[in-house]
Structure 1
Amino acid sequence: MNPGRYVQACVNLPELPDDRLYDYHIPADWPFIPSPGSRVLVPFAGRRAEAIVWGCQEPTYPETIKDVLAVLDDTPLLTPDQMSLIDWLAMRYFCRRQDLLHLFLPPGLKARTEKCWRLTGEPAKMTALLDRLPLPPEVLQDLRKALAGLAEEYTPLPKLPTEFKPYLNQFVEQGFIKICWRPQKPAVNFKTVQAYTLAPEFSRAAADRLTAKQQKVVAFLADQTTPVSTKEILAATGVTASVLTALCQRGYLTKTTLTLERNPFRQPAVPQPVPELNAEQAQALAQIRAALHRGETAAFLLHGVTGSGKTEVYLQAIAEALKLGKDAIFLVPEIALTPQTVERVRARFGETVAVMHSSLSEGERFEQWWKMKNGEVKVVVGARSAVFAPLPNLGLIIVDEEHEFTYKQEEVPRYHAKEVAYELCRRNKGVLVLGSATPSLESVYAREKGELIGLTLTQRVLGRPLPRVQVVDLRQEFKARRFTVLSPVLKDEIAKRLQRREQVIILLNRRGFATFILCRECGQVLKCSACDVTLTYHRKPNVLRCHYCDYQMVPPDRCPHCQSHYIRYFGHGTQRLEEELTTEFPHARVARMDLDTTSRKGSHEQIYRQLVRREIDILLGTQMVAKGLDLPNVTLVGIVAADAGLNLPDFRAAERTYQLLTQAAGRAGRGSEAGLVVVQTYNPEHYSIKALVAQEEAAFYRQELAYREAANYPPFTHLIRVLFSGPDQHAVVKAAQKWTSLLQMALAKLALPPATMEIIGPQPALIEKIKNKFRWHTLLKTKELVLAERLLPRVVQALNRERRQGVRIIIDENPYSVL
């Protein structure tokens, strides 16, 4: 093997325990060495696997190194900058490179190859060898035919007689035949159709010799300046495809392939006038513009009340970036927000805009990815994963509603898009703008420390007032024996809005019809058999469903435990609320927006369009309805169970409740009419509710920060959750205890102060079983994140060496939930 013809590759197999790089040799007869970032096909553990070339390095034992089988791409799909970012992400989020690759590559690129062979030895010697094989005459005859067709070019390997297969390696080893793997087109590719034009040599004189149908086609194509698809020709002329075939055979038409664009946008871009900024908006934009012109890394926190015009500041900042030749990414927290955001961005920047989110088809995502990669678009709008858009000249990233927990991925790789955005801006000397009416405590604290530059918008656009907040104390409703989910106050306000033809939004952050089912005879609650959670009743369809593993069952007529008929449905979900609203207001047009009604492609956009056209009077739903909807005809927001989130065993419960309620309240009063928010709660004295009512945001942040500091929670420390899960409860407990013990020993060896890392646990997770996997966790608090990044993976490796018996270990830094 030749020196210098070795590469290190990241083998892209999900079952590999780590992300070590493997050495491979480039065959001597290859005229080139694949560049880093290229996909290759390699032998691995007795099979073929896709890998990414990560670098070139001479191996320690070159005689054991296997050859690369094929190069799968003409040009590298990953840039050196992207590969460096993947290395950083793998360390930062305790995962493997393989876990990250799909975020950076276009969809549908699974390696597809065909086995090929070519003649490399002298034919006469090969024939002599063939004649000596102990095979039946008819088999030898078939082989001679197959081998006679071989040339110096690789051709697909034909179906060989079974008797010959044991001898194929003998031919390869003796140098008569060489076998390779040739890449085929990926499953997802650009959409193409056959198209036709008149051949250059076609003459009008020839038309006289054509049939009437052929003349129709020729006359139609004579008026066209570009190739026309088969479908269009047949539709315009009324002929069949055989007519086109006959014209091609006579040399009168030229057949070509036409690439059709998959358009993910359902509405055309309609240009809109650029509004004039108020003084606060102009001041904020001026600072962002100055940072863009300096060409240095800068990070801003744009803190503006709901309806203050943050989006317009974003759009004009993007316009400035484009003037400077920079690309921009605009992140939104929910797919539900993407249609309206895309509409506004495309109205400003037209065809230079791409969209990127999971609701697109695989083909649409494939084409959008290549448009970004090739520099055909300048602005990308999308949800969390759009932060990895392959823009070649990134200069600006907008993170709208930056406080939203949906920017944190809950599955491996557990990255936070906001942190990734900052790292990208740092590497590209770009500008990061975090925007929110209710910033996360981490961002507020970073602003106080000077890590973020604060920008403030205190007034709504056109001086419109913030909505008035009215509290309904549900304890008093209970005393008055009013047990309906809608209080008389809220019903009365809804009726007034319907009478005035205004729109209403109702928030209830619980899906389904009833939240649990209880047997009143024995007290048993129906739970999921695979998870330690109650089943939620969904009336449409008539099932009990687990919201963790999607297990479903038909609601029983009798209690499964005591056979009693006394089964009762408790709690309210969005389905039940929809039914009550429809009953209470039979003439109102009611729509529901939750995970159950928005699972179909385009469903978010459909509901949004109906709202804009005022085809919906009352929109109810989960937290989706609280985010980003800018509808001037909405004058009432009802929050049905404001304190539901406060009862969760989560240190972020108060922050998340305050943010959700404030965002929901901000949907009201964005037009010419004043807005009202009705808040139903059993806990009106809680500081998050009081801050909402009094609109005293600063008071809430002061109190919540003081609580976090006293309890040593983020943002004053890094919280790391190490989760152990597996089907064997004993093995899970043992692994959790052993891992925690190994960590304590590792810390003791470093002789670090006890306060360096606080260890809590191991202990059962709050939901102890999900999908038939038992769950324990250990929580770590530390200010030394770099130490944790180095130390924790080593402890996992140490436990691997002692066999962890099928227990999965997940390390999650700053999780948004510890359930």
Structure 2
Amino acid sequence: MVNIAEVVVDCPLKDIDKTFYYAIPNHLVNYIEIGSRVIVPFGNRTLQGYVVNLFDKIEEQKYKLKEIDNVFEYPSILDRKLIDLAKWMSYNYNSSLFSCIQSMLPRGVKLQFTERYYLVKKTLDEDFNLFFKKPRTLGEIIVNLKITKEEIVYYLTEGVLEKKIDIKTNIQEKIEQEISLDVEQEEITLPVNALRQHELLELLTNQEWLSISDLPTPLRNAAKTFIDKGYVKVRERRIFREPETISLSGEKVAKILNDEQRTAFEKLVKAFDNGNKETFLLKGITGSGKTEIYLQFTQHVINSGKDVIILVPEIALTPLMVSRFKSRFGNKVAVLHSGLSEAQKFDEWLKIKDGKVKIVVGARSAVFAPLKNLGVIIIDEEHESTYKQEVQPRYVTKDVAEYRISQQKGVLLLGSATPSVESYYSAQNGYYKLLELTNRANNQGLPNIEIVDMKEELINGNKSIFSRLLYNSIYETLQRGEQVILFLNKRGFSATTLCRNCGFTFKCPHCDVNLTSHHKGNFLICHYCNYSLTSPKICPKCKGKHLRFNGLGTEKLKKEIEKHFPTAKVIRMDNDTMTTASSYNEVYQMFNEGKANVLVGTQMIAKGFDFPKVTLVGIILADLSLNFPDFRSSEKTFQLITQVAGRAGRAELNGKVILQTYTPEHYSIKNSATYNYQGFYQQELKIRESLKYPPFIRLAKLEVMAKGEGEGKKTIEQIYNSLKLKIDNLNEEIQILGPVIPAIPKIRGLYRHILIIKFPKQSALLDVINSYDFKKYVKNNIINIKVDIDPITLI
């Protein structure tokens, strides 16, 4: 008989990262299972925890186990497979088991514990008795009665007071009351002058159930009168707080697939129907109809009784994908991403958990959606760096999806026009199955890309941010009544603010980076810690008034367009403008309806869009990502250029792309200008192999962040020396690089030092890292340590 539970407890102490054993009381035996959320005693507190294993007995039990107080819900909040996934994540990403479990749940389901004290035996003190006419918290008692904790313990011991713990979730279900006539109309007598009651009666006779919350206030008062007199019956109904979506026309009917699409679709269907775990890489050029394959494959999967998760790389793209799926599948679709309110996330998650939907569309965290019968996971734009979680647990979404779909013996579909080098390498070597779409779905050709060498522009006297070719092309495009997209992967107005008298540069006092100028709002801001100050008028060093704003961002680009093309209607899309859930929808609708003819933006405009009137794309400065000091910078540059170029000429009108650069000879620039993925891939692969980078090895990044630079340096050297001894004992080909100071030496007031470890794909290194006691170096607010397995960047 199972009577012992292994529980991971929600304990705020950082140094407690282990599981604990609890006895299961007889009355709970039939209600506790792996994945159950339980209430347990922990020291002198009551905490929530999750059951991760069950036992008949445990070895070496030297003390009597505490009992579980209660189970919060039944059936369990998580199933066994999700708990297994959490364990896998904990090991593979050096993360606490509890953080892995919490990442699977919306914040709204987290429990709040409130201790309340009840009067159970009256005293001679009437004021005391009166105060406890309602339950009180400890804080209320101490502040109002001015008594000590020892006196409270005395009252508890003597049976005067009783302590109870109220437990509820952070977000509550939204319930509304509805009313319906419960008597014959002839039995209702209303005063002649009670106009609102007569109006309500008329509504009730024409509608079976009325929501009280939908009624105007005067009618709500009338409803209360009807309830008191017994004229109506009342019922409660659960209301779901729905996320906002974009309305798309013409998406409800499946499109006829072309030959390439049909071949890819049939291979996916065959693999799914065979019931074996398979991973496919769908490499399709921009506009080749990958989304239509997603839609029709999803239809086949849900017709077979299985469920589907579709992941998109950015919150900004979620409404667009959601609208496409909702147009086709209606209320079978739920949405999960961080742009929703906590209440909306809570409701969407409950819909999924309760089996009310078959399809989930969302960003990274939607990979954990608790669908009851998961059969397929689709990851759109699989190459995007946003699929890597940058806080605990630092998981790679693609790998998590692969593990989860292997549990279900389902299909994982990765889609991209520019697959990551690692994914394409896996497809070339037989680990993934490759599907290719080489033509646009509408048979329209890819837009021609023209490279402009900005060094030549300068030599010829053009100091503008627009080459002559781009300037003339914008003018001609707007004259024809068509639309323009201008891409610049840097937000803000200018990158640096410089004193021309003494050379002083405004930097963040907490991070070793320049402050970015934003003219709207008139401030300088750090994009790493959000420190900001009002735009200065004088230099704090020499008191000079000659300040120059150098560099270029999307805000300045928008201003320049408005200056040179005063009749243009320009809108901007970047992290500064997309601040609310509706921001993206508003910009999308404006541009889609032709209310604006120039769209300026960062990488969030590089994918997902399909505007038929966009015939010109201008890439203002392709070198921005290329100059990033990271081994993926060339790949990132190729992907961004190819993706944003694909926004042009997607309908009947031909498209054109103008690519401005200072390094036209670079292989990522040259290959992107001809859409030559193979050429780029082969050259990049040679470099990765010679320098020993993924896909040939795996990486781990260990980062020490310290208040003092010397303290951080000392700590990283201690870790290096002790870790190297353990790694040397493995007798594997493992390289430890560092310690080094990264490109950004200080962030949020903490000095940074890193170690990079290169290790074989089949290695015991994770055992060493997971068993290593990094916590002994951690000091609250002084030293912190971050372990990142498979980091997306080394900066």
Pairwise TM-score range, normalised by the shorter structure: over 0.9
SS at match of 2:552: coil
Q: Return the letter of the residue paired with 1:415.
A: Y
- Alpha carbons 2:778, 2:784 under 8 Å: kept: no
2-structure distance, mates of 1:600, 1:4: 49
With 696-705 and 801-810 compared, the bigger mean Cα shift is at: 801-810
1:76 aligns with 2:60: no
1:42-69 deviation per Cα after TM superposition (whole angstroms, max 9, x unaligned): 3435433322232344565564644444
Match of 1:580 in 2: 560
Instruction: Read off the aligned partner of 1:591 and give its amino acid letter.
Output: I
The alpha carbon displacement at 1:433 in A equals 0.9
Aligned equivalents of 2:248, 2:175: Cα separation in 1 = 25
State the Cα deviation string for residues 495-543 of structure 1 (Å, max 9, x = none).
1111111111000111111111223333332211100111111111111
| Deviation of the 1:35 alpha carbon | 3.2
Query: Percent sequence identity over matched residues?
Result: 36
Question: Which position in structure 1 is the counterpart of 2:400?
Answer: 420
Cα separation, 2, equivalents of 1:699 and 1:30: 63
Q: 2:727 & 2:184 partners in 1: Cα distance?
A: 87
d(CA) in 1 for partners of 2:100 and 2:551?
40
Aligned pair in 2 of structure 1 residues 498, 177: CA closer, same or farther (>3 Å)? closer
Any idea what SS the aligned residue of 2:223 has? Answer: helix
Q: 2:686 matched to 1:688?
A: no
Decide whether aligned partners of structure 1 residues 67 and 115 sit closer, same or farther in structure 2, where only a CA change above 3 A counts.
farther
SS of the aligned residue for 1:716 comes to: coil
Confirm or deny: 8 A CA contact 1:447 1:454 kept in the other structure: yes
**Amino acid corresponding to residue 51 of structure 1 in structure 2:** G
What SS does the corresponding residue of 1:442 show, helix, strand or coil?
A: helix
Question: 2:90 — aligned with what?
Answer: 90
1:690 Cα offset (Å): 0.9
Q: Give the match's secondary structure for 1:789.
A: helix
Per-residue deviation, 1:703: 0.4
Q: Which residue of 1 aligns with 2:316?
A: 336
Cα distance in 2 for residues equivalent to 1:118 and 1:24 = 28
Does structure 1 residue 674 correspond to structure 2 residue 640? no
Specify the alignment match of 1:658 in structure 2.
638
The residue aligned with 2:188 is 207
Q: Distance in 1 between matches of 2:420 and 2:127?
A: 76
Structure 1 position 733, deviation (Å):
1.2
**Secondary structure of the structure 2 residue equivalent to 1:73:** coil
Change over 3 Å in CA distance of 1:176–1:527 after alignment to 2 = closer
Q: Which string of whole-angstrom CA distances, capped at 9 and with x for unpartnered residues, describes residues 676-716 of structure 1?
A: 11011111111111112233221111000000000001111
User: Partners of 1:285 and 1:627 in 2: how far apart?
Assistant: 22
Q: How far, CA to CA, are the matches of 2:303 and 2:312 in structure 1?
A: 23
Structure-1 residue corresponding to 2:620:
640
2:390 to 391, 410, 423: 410
Partner residue of 1:109? 109
Aligned equivalent of 1:190: 173
2:637 and 2:137 map into 1 onto residues whose CA distance is 64
Partner-residue secondary structure (3-state), 2:766: helix
Q: Is 1:289 matched with 2:269?
A: yes
1:810 is aligned to: 786
CA contact (8 A) 1:207 1:215 kept: no
Do the aligned partners of 2:86 and 2:100 also contact (CA within 8 Å) in 1? Answer: yes
1:365 to partner: Cα distance = 0.9
**Deviation for aligned residue 1:590:** 0.5
- In structure 2, give the amino acid aligned to 1:108: G
| SS of equivalent residue, structure 1 residue 88 | helix
Corresponding residue for 1:152? none
Which ranges in structure 2 are unaligned for 5 or more consecutive residues?
none
Confirm or deny: 8 A CA contact 2:282 2:434 kept in the other structure.
yes
What is residue 24 of structure 1 aligned with on the other side? 22
Deviates most, 269-278 or 586-595: 269-278
Name the stretch that deviates more: 209-218 or 332-341.
Answer: 209-218
Distance 2:190 2:778 in 1: 82
Change over 3 Å in CA distance of 1:760–1:18 after alignment to 2: farther
Q: 1:652 to 1:216 in 2, by over 3 A?
A: closer
1:701 aligns to 2:685 (yes or no): no
Q: How does 1:373-384 map to 2 (within 5 A)?
A: 373-384=353-364
1:460 aligns with 2:437: no
Q: CA deviation at 1:5?
A: 4.8
Given that residues 269 and 346 in structure 1 are in contact (C-alpha distance below 8 angstroms), is that contact kept between their aligned partners in structure 2?
Answer: no
Aligned length: 785
The answer to whether the 8 A contact 1:731-1:804 is kept is: no
Instruction: Report how far residue 27 of structure 1 moved.
Output: 5.7
Matched, 1:251 2:234: no
Equivalent pair of 1:514/1:573 in contact (CA under 8 Å)? yes
Q: Which amino acid aligns with 2:788?
A: D
C-alpha distance in 2 between matches for 1:56 and 1:775:
42
Counterpart for residue 447 of structure 1: 427
Preserved CA contact (<8 Å) 1:18 1:96:
no
Deviation at 1:178, TM superposition (A): 7.1
CA 1:448–1:209: 2 relative to 1, 3 Å: closer
Counterpart-to-counterpart distance in 2, 1:723 and 1:37? 33
> Measured at CA, do residues 614 and 802 of structure 1 come closer, stay the same or move farther in structure 2, by a change above 3 Å?
closer
Partner of 1:229: 211
SS in 2 for 1:403: coil
User: Which residue pairs with 2:767 in the alignment?
Assistant: 790
Pick aligned residue for 1:397 from 374, 377, 381: 377
Match of 2:494 among 477, 491, 514: 514
Residue type of the alignment partner of 2:76: P
1:41 aligns with 2:18: no
Alpha-carbon distance in 1 for matches of 2:424, 2:543: 55
Shift of 1:233: 4.5
2:514 alignment partner in structure 1:
534
1:609 maps to 2:585: no
Answer whether contact 1:330 1:400 (CA < 8 A) is retained: yes
Which stretch of structure 1 is more off in the superposition, 56-65 or 496-505?
56-65
What is the Cα deviation at residue 629 of structure 1? 0.8
Deviation, 1:269, is: 7.3
Tell me which structure has the larger Cα radius of gyration.
1
Q: Deviations over 1:293-346 (max 9, x none)?
A: 001101111111111111111111111111111111111111121122112111
> Given the alignment, which residue of 190, 200, 206 partners 1:217?
200
Query: Corresponding residue for 1:122?
Result: none
1:299 aligns with 2:276: no
Cα distance, 1:575–1:604 mapped onto 2, change above 3 Å = same
Could you say which residue in structure 2 is the equivalent of 1:771?
748
Superposed displacement of residue 203, structure 1: 3.7
Contact 2:188 2:231 (C-alpha < 8 Å) held by counterparts:
no
Whether the 8 Å CA contact 2:118–2:132 is kept in 1: the answer is no
Corresponding letter in the other structure for 1:771: R
Helix, strand or coil: the match of 2:242?
A: coil
Q: Which moved more, 1:208-217 or 1:489-498?
A: 208-217
Which of 219, 223, 243 is the equivalent residue of 1:264? 243
Going from structure 1 to structure 2, the CA distance change for 1:141 and 1:718 (only over 3 Å counts) comes to closer
Q: Distance in 2 between matches of 1:766 and 1:383?
A: 29
2:352 matched residue in structure 1: 372
2: distance between equivalents of 1:164 and 1:563? Answer: 58
**Contact 1:331–1:384, Cα closer than 8 Å, also in 2:** yes
Within a 5 Å distance, the mapping from 1:164-179 to structure 2 comes to none
Provide the rounded CA distance (Å) in 1 between the counterparts of 2:155 and 2:537.
71
> What is the CA–CA distance in structure 1 between the aligned matches of 2:294 and 2:63, rounded to whole Å?
57
Counterpart-to-counterpart distance in 2, 1:363 and 1:611: 30
Moved more, 733-742 or 205-214: 205-214
Q: Distance in 2 between matches of 1:531 and 1:772?
A: 6
Any conservation in 2 of the 1:69–1:180 contact (CA below 8 Å)?
Answer: no
Matched-pair contact (CA < 8 Å) for 1:70–1:181: no
Q: In structure 1, how many angstroms separate the alpha carbons of the residues matched to 2:510 and 2:675?
A: 44
Q: Are 2:551 and 1:568 aligned?
A: no
Question: 1:307, 1:644 → 2: CA distance?
Answer: 26
For the structure 1 residues 269 and 566, does the alpha-carbon distance in structure 2 shift closer, same or farther, using more than 3 Å as the test? closer
Q: Which residue of 2 aligns with 1:759?
A: 736
Q: Specify which of 455, 459, 462 is matched with residue 479 of structure 1.
A: 459
**1:346 corresponds to:** 326
Deviation at 1:673, TM superposition (A): 1.4
* Alignment equivalent of 2:292, drawn from 304, 309, 312: 312
